[in-house]
Amino acid sequence: MSDLEAARIESEAQRLFKKLGVMTDFKTGGKYSLEHCRSIAPLTLKINDLKREKDAVILAHYYCTPDIVYGVADFKGDSYALAKKAAQTGQKNIIFCGVYFMAQTAKIVNPDKNVFLPPVTAGCSLADGIDAEEAAKLKAGYPQAALVCYINSTAEVKAFCDVCVTSSNVYDIVSALPNKQIVFVPDLFMAENIRAELKRRGIEKEVLSFGSTCCVHDKYTVRDIEEIKSAHPNAKIISHPECPRSVCEMSDYCGSTAGMLSYVKGSDAEEFAVFSEDGIVNSLELENPSKTFYPVSRTCAQMKRNTLNNVLGVLENLDKAPRVEVSRDIALKAKISIDNMFKMAGK
């Protein structure tokens, strides 16, 4: 290796360490080391070079590992921000570091672009919670209702829905719908949180729900909160609305990934217990160096299937790598529910 190349790798390692060095490595429990950053620097450099060469953009959900989110992603975000960003990118090739329904959404809003999901089959227990046949039955069975789908659903399910929502806009969109009856799929816990929020707002609607739960957030319990409160009585509890209602009820703040980030930033508190995926803890650590976080550690194994190696694999074989495809008919119908979300979310 030439001196020049060695210096370039060292400078990339230092860039990575500035960010990753403050973050918890959930595999070891310690912080990411400079040695670790040195070991991944050749890969992140190669990916960032190839990205420019091949007219590619990398979008990454906060739940991916920090080497992806802070090493190679051009844009990071929660589900809503990434869906919006996917609709605005100029590059021909979109590499989506997330799970399948997210990459499908990027394809639906960009039918003429190539969309790649590096782990190809990375799934989600929520999106698996309802299929198109069940969605069709709900649509036919509740003709007066608005069929509202959480973005964590397949394109085939979205095709039957009136409007799609994410955790960052669900309450406002459901509140604004004219229908008195809402059929919400597929997050059963989110549905409970919607009912509670509508009650709090004094809005009368019947919310029926079908589907499943997030296999990461559904494991949190009231006991977890009690334990963390007894160990860290001053910690604010923050949670995601995919958690059980009992957990959200006891939280100081319950909201979307972006919502948690802004709550912590704006809070005077110094300690926080985080009832959400490990990836968000890493971003909180980076953005709030003076605050302390107590992760109640839960990992989305599917999100963690995005690796520097499989991102590089896609970039090196753009012509042959499997692309995310959605049939034209399904994409056109699903896009209506996504566009309705963009219109109703208004930002």
**40 or 188, CB closer to ligand SF4?**
188
Q: C-beta of 54: minimal distance to ligand 13P in Å?
A: 27
CA atoms within 13 A on the CB side of 211: 35
Alpha helices per DSSP H over 222-345: 222-231, 245-249, 257-266, 278-287, 308-316, 328-345
| 256 near ligand SF4, rule: CB under 6 A | no
- Bridge pairing between strands 114-116 and 93-97: parallel
Instruction: Tell me which of 110, 166, 169, 251 binds ligand 13P, using CB under 6 A.
Output: 166
| 65 near ligand 13P, rule: CB under 6 A | no
Give dist(CA 29, CA 24) in Å, integer.
Answer: 6
**17 or 101, CB closer to ligand SF4?**
101
| 152 near ligand SF4, rule: CB under 6 A | yes
Burial of 91 (0-12, 13-18, 19+ CB in 10 A): middle
Instruction: Tell me which of 216, 260, 296, 308 binds ligand SF4, using CB under 6 A.
Output: 216
CA atoms within 13 A on the CB side of 45: 17
Using the contact rule CB under 6 A, the part of the chain among 21-29, 76-84, 110-118, 338-346 near ligand 13P is 76-84
Give dist(CA 316, CA 176) in Å, integer.
Answer: 46
Among 79, 199, 88, residue whose Cα is nearest residue 150 = 79
Q: C-beta of 302: minimal distance to ligand SF4 in Å?
A: 5
Q: Per CB under 6 A, which of residues 89..118 are in contact with ligand SF4?
A: 99
The size of the interface with ligand SF4 (CB under 6 A), counted in residues, is 14
Q: Report the partner that residue 78 touches, choosing among ligand SF4, ligand 13P, none (CB closer than 5 to 8 A by kind).
A: ligand 13P
Using the contact rule CB under 6 A, the part of the chain among 34-42, 64-72, 120-128, 249-257 near ligand SF4 is 120-128
Q: Per CB under 6 A, which of residues 197..226 are in contact with ligand 13P?
A: 214
| 256 near ligand 13P, rule: CB under 6 A | yes
Q: Provide the 8-state DSSP code for 212.
A: B
| 125 near ligand SF4, rule: CB under 6 A | yes
| 302 near ligand SF4, rule: CB under 6 A | yes
Give dist(CA 118, CA 135) in Å, integer.
Answer: 28
Six-digit token string for 224: 């977890």
| 151 near ligand SF4, rule: CB under 6 A | no
- Is residue 270 within 8 Å of residue 234, measured between CB atoms? yes
Side chain identity at 101, as an amino acid letter? F
Q: What are phi and psi of 204, to 5 degrees?
A: -95, 115
Positions that interact with ligand SF4 (CB under 6 A): 63, 99, 124-126, 152, 214-216, 242, 277, 300, 302-303
Residues in contact with ligand 13P by the rule CB under 6 A: 78-80, 152, 166-168, 214, 242, 256-257
